[in-house]
Structure 1
């Protein structure tokens, strides 16, 4: 059995936003799940022991978990690379030092160059300004960053959003269609419609959910 290159750690179902298309159905009422910080540390240690090269912290919003920084530090101490997939809605000043460490990279989502359109998708007023400002700060600090733009609304300003990101200095940008999973599922559809997945589940990656379950992908 091949060792996965990346292990995705969905450490929480909590998020300050409640995006209309969230595959994990995360939001302000989400919980951190069954695993303790010690459990997550053991998962990370086991991953390193197997030869995994990178762990991704995802949610929900991973920085809402009280031990997220400790877990990132633990991964780095074992020689793993760590990606923090954050909405970048709220970044405490003291977090930037950790995010700028060697071996850490950031990922985030962006939706439009227009305030109203972006915030309509996240359902949180102010998310456009705060995410944009923290993207700019990450670029200023030379923190490796990739940004995903999901096409959610008809006529959404995806092209303009990409141009805005490029103007901010972001070089790794990817676009995707909405996946009809989680909150974006169609009425009466199965919980996981395999037609909505990318088809690369389990190829070089595995995911651990807040329940402790192991799956080929956080979306699966």
Structure 2
């Protein structure tokens, strides 16, 4: 039955297993200052700024691989702004997403404010079949910019 099919999709080795994970790759950097966001505090110099470890690309690859081994198949890369993250060898969020795909993640999404998207990374996003979620607070530019405090 459909219910059994749904139940099977949430189990691994007979146990109910989470299937969706957030990878907060860049918790203290963003090029916007959204009034509702905790990242603003990190950029204001408050102690929060150093409360998250800065993981290297190899650390993130290990975390992604371990997550896949635990049964996660859907992931969202979030920040701060994920397109501001850079690994020690120049890796970017798309390199991490590609790694996740190689580890059999079936759904990858990057949550971004969209301001740093380039033709080059949009092309790569399309090639990798990654979804993108974009912050948009209003169709009115003034309202959006006053919420995001676009800089």
TM-score by length of 1: 0.52
- Is residue 98–residue 128 contact of structure 2 (8 Å, CA) maintained in 1? no
1:16 aligns with 2:31: yes
Unaligned runs of 5+ in 2: 1-14, 87-91
Q: Is the 8 A contact 1:14 1:60 kept in 2?
A: yes
- CA 1:97–1:27 in structure 2 vs 1: closer, same or farther (change >3 Å)? farther
The answer to whether the Cα contact below 8 Å between 1:16 and 1:28 also exists between their aligned partners in 2 is: no
Greater percentage in helix = 2
Match of 1:77 in 2: 102
Rounded to whole Å, the distance in 2 between the matches of 1:54 and 1:112 is 28
Q: Which residue of 2 aligns with 1:184?
A: none
Match of 1:37 among 43, 48, 57: 57
Q: Distance in 2 between matches of 1:20 and 1:111?
A: 11
CA RMSD of aligned residues (A): 2.2
Shift of 1:98: 2.0
Shift of 1:27: 6.6
Question: Structure 1, residues 144-201: CA drift from partner, whole Å, max 9, x if none?
Answer: xxxxxxxxxxxxxxxxxxxxxxxxxxxxxxxxxxxxxxxxxxxxxxxxxxxxxxxxxx
Aligned 1:110-125 pairs, distance under 5 A: 110-124=136-150
For residue 43 of structure 1, report the CA deviation from its aligned partner.
0.6
What's 2:16 paired with? 2
Map Cα deviations across residues 46-90 of structure 1 (whole Å, 9 max, x no partner). Answer: 111111111110010111001312101101111212110011012
The 3 A distance-change label for structure 1 pair 103 and 94 is closer
Contact 2:29-2:39 at 8 Å conserved across structures: no
Q: Secondary structure at the match of 1:9?
A: strand
2:84 paired residue number = 64
Where does structure 1 lack aligned partners over 5 or more consecutive residues? 126-220
Q: The residue matched to 1:55 in structure 2 has which SS?
A: strand
Q: Map of 1:46-195 to 2, 5 A cutoff?
A: 46-66=66-86, 67-80=92-105, 81-124=107-150
Ranges of 4+ aligned residues in structure 1 off by more than 3 Å = 23-33
Aligned equivalents of 2:42, 2:148: Cα separation in 1: 10
Relative to 1, partners in 2 of residues 1:41 and 1:23: Cα closer, same or farther, differing over 3 Å? same
